[in-house]
């Protein structure tokens, strides 16, 4: 298999092979469309959750406003962001194998940025838990700054995917 030749761990190659069998009957352009929709949904959450946290910092812990933010943040994270991230990863890996992207430099850079976004996603999940427990220790300024991270990564990924500079 091409993925194994590209140096992927065997368990990842096996997972991709299994996904190809499950998804194998779906035309590749449908997988690409689903991937794009999942990425858009995930990115929307990555843009919006830190912004919600900016406003949540301003609310008094335990107040009605704070409790409302907790519900909004939890629903955004669990119902939209995490499922969209998983679908984006699955479809993206299937496409990468289908089109043999693992041997291309631009894809390695894109994959690194997607891993960073994934870590960022889980870091937001940790901040979410701290808010849920009324233990937030971060400032409004902190959330305003980290709110820019997904935008910068999105710019880099779009340039890599469209221009394929290396």
Mean pLDDT, residues 108-131 taken together: 98
Nearest to 96 by CA among 82, 87, 85, 108: 108
Q: Helices H, strands E: what count in the chain?
A: 8, 0
Q: How big is the CA angle at 86 (ends 85 and 90), to the nearest 5 degrees? A: 120
Report the C-alpha gap between 131 and 137 in whole angstroms. Answer: 9
Nearest to 55 by CA among 113, 147, 140: 140
Among 23-27, 48-52, 90-94, the minimum mean pLDDT is found in 23-27
Q: Where residue 4 falls among pLDDT bands split at 50, 70, 90?
A: very low
**What phi and psi values does residue 164 have, to the nearest 5 degrees?**
45, 65
Q: Which two tokens stand for residue 52?
A: 């919600």
Phi-psi region of 9 (alpha: psi -120 to 50; beta: other; left: phi over 0): beta
pLDDT per residue as tens digits for the range 10-49: 887 787 777 777 666 678 898 999 999 999 999 999 999 9
Whole-number average pLDDT of the chain = 92
pLDDT for the residue 26: 75
Looking at the predicted structure, is the pLDDT value of residue 101 above 50?
A: yes
DSSP state of 59: S
């Amino acid at each position: 298999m091409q993925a194994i030749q590209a140096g992927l761990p065997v368990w990842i190659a096996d997972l991709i092979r299994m996904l190809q069998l499950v998804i194998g009957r779906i035309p590749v352009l449908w997988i690409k469309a689903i991937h794009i929709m999942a990425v858009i949904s995930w990115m929307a959450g990555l843009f919006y959750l830190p912004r919600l946290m900016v406003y949540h910092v301003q609310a008094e812990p335990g107040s009605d406003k704070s409790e409302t933010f907790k519900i909004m943040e939890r629903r955004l994270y669990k119902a939209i962001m995490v499922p969209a991230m998983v679908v984006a990863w699955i479809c993206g890996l299937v496409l990468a194998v289908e089109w043999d992207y693992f041997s291309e430099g631009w894809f390695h850079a894109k994959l690194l940025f997607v891993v960073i976004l994934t870590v960022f996603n889980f870091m937001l999940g940790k901040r979410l838990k701290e808010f849920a427990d009324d233990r937030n220790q971060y400032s409004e300024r902190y959330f305003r700054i980290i709110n820019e991270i997904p935008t910068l990564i999105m710019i880099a990924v779009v340039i890599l995917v469209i221009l394929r500079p290396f």
